[in-house]
Amino acid sequence: MMISVGVQKLLIVSCLLLGVLSSTRHEYAQGHIRDRDNLESAATIPNETSLTPEFFPSEGSKRTKISYGPFEVPNMNINNGMISHFTLNIDIGCKDCIVTWMQAGLEYPDGSYANANTSLWLHHTVLYNMNNLDTVCGANVQGERFFASGNERMEVDLSNSGTNTAGYFVGANDTIGFLVELMNQAMENQTAVVTITYEYIPGHPTTFNEITPVWLDIGGCSTSEMPAKNETTFQYTSPVWSANVTGRITFEVGHIHDGGTYVQIAENNSTICDSQASYGQTPGYVDPSGSMSMGAGMVSPMSNMGKHISSMSKCTNGQLNLGDELSITAYYNTSEYEAMTNTDGSLSSIMGIALLYLAANETAASTTGATPTTSRAVSSSSTGAAAIVTTGPALVVGVLSGMLALGFA
Ligand SMILES: [Cu+2]
């Protein structure tokens, strides 16, 4: 077995992560991480399928669908059917490339579709660039969270269908972390394969601006989970974040859980985006008949019963300047839409997140062809910034301090 020095370092980090994370049940929900006592590495070699690229063909763009797993997901009577996996250093199809589009999916090992109608949920997946700092939370979270998806599986269309020469740059030596949380609402164990499709341009064309991801969360930098309330309307607002980066917004989308209606993004107290939830738009997002969500013989008081969030609307414009104050508010109406419950019937916690993507240092007036920049956002809260670096033991320190800061004492 060939193990390079670099890989050995990663294995050390990986072991440390796994060792620390598996030692206790805890909540460390930044970036959607929630340990369910079963963190492990997806050891299998990912499967890769080439697809036809949709944007920037003149730049030699490529589209590839990568499968991760398989993951065994326990039945609903074990830990509410939830399981989490964290893998450090996954293959995303390219290095030294500009990623312009991403979308997650969930399948069975035979390639067939898995969703709420088959009682298998892509509860969350998150990608982290371990070599960068998170723009909003700095060293208080691990790495830079540049992609996330709930079961609604929204596309992250960084270039807005090829109308912006912009994308997320992945460096040749960047290490990508992959978190996935899966949920099984069936009485039997199920096996899932997570897919992420990436469209990218090899290299870094000089005409392309680098995208900076901005993760805003009702839990701020300490958690992504808040308690739900039943049969009522309620909302949570995030802490205000003062922008430490300038850029044109190319894409923004919210994430909430069932029971949620929309995520509002405010800039300097004005709404710049309402990301609205839609429910049950396709059969995958409607419970199979005889769902366990209501007992036999009970009549649903809600017409939306058994329907789950199937998409969130996006926004594709806006401008962020240094010092602009950003916040989000997640709105819920659990009278109208059924909130998620645990196996024992108690309410599951909810989330409220918005991901904004900025073409860094670009202004709204200068769209395509703007001067590219390699500057990165440096978080004002990143006192431990230097800890996360590309090589050596410092990476270990950085990851560990990031994890410890998540409060699992
Ligand atoms: Cu969530």
Residue 398 CB partners (closer than 8 Å, separation 6+): 139, 384, 387, 388, 389
Q: Where are the domains of the chain?
A: 5-404
Is the per-residue pLDDT at 403 higher than 90?
A: no
Q: Is 402 left (phi over 0), alpha (psi -120 to 50) or beta?
A: alpha
pLDDT value at residue 303: 80
Is the per-residue pLDDT at 316 higher than 80?
A: yes
Please give the distance, rounded to the nearest whole angstrom, from the Cα atom of residue 58 to the centre of ligand 1: 37
User: Which residues sit with Cβ closer than 5 angstroms to ligand 1, an ion?
Assistant: 150, 351
Taking only the tens place, the pLDDT of each residue in 78-101 is 999 999 999 999 999 999 999 999
Q: Which of 34-43, 54-63, 137-146, 361-370 has the least mean pLDDT? A: 34-43
Cis amide prior to 283 (ω within 30 degrees): no
Please give the distance, rounded to the nearest whole angstrom, from the Cα atom of residue 123 to the centre of ligand 1: 7
pLDDT value at residue 59: 96
Please give the distance, rounded to the nearest whole angstrom, from the Cα atom of residue 301 to the centre of ligand 1: 25
- Cα(242)–Cα(62) distance, rounded to whole angstroms? 36
Q: What is the mean pLDDT of residues 271-295?
A: 83
First vs last C-alpha separation in the chain = 37
Q: What pTM did the predictor assign?
A: 0.79
Please give the distance, rounded to the nearest whole angstrom, from the Cα atom of residue 125 to the centre of ligand 1: 9
Q: How confident is the model at residue 360 (pLDDT cuts 50, 70, 90)?
A: confident
- Cα(77)–Cα(322) distance, rounded to whole angstroms? 49
Please give the distance, rounded to the nearest whole angstrom, from the Cα atom of residue 250 to the centre of ligand 1: 22
pLDDT value at residue 389: 26
Q: Which residue from 251, 213, 259, 209 is spatially nearest to 235, judged by alpha carbons?
A: 259
- Cα(4)–Cα(10) distance, rounded to whole angstroms? 10
Please give the distance, rounded to the nearest whole angstrom, from the Cα atom of residue 7 to the centre of ligand 1: 31
Taking only the tens place, the pLDDT of each residue in 21-66 is 332 223 333 333 333 333 444 445 458 999 999 999 999 999 999 9
Is residue 278 within 8 Å of 311, Cβ to Cβ?
yes
- Cα(217)–Cα(221) distance, rounded to whole angstroms? 7
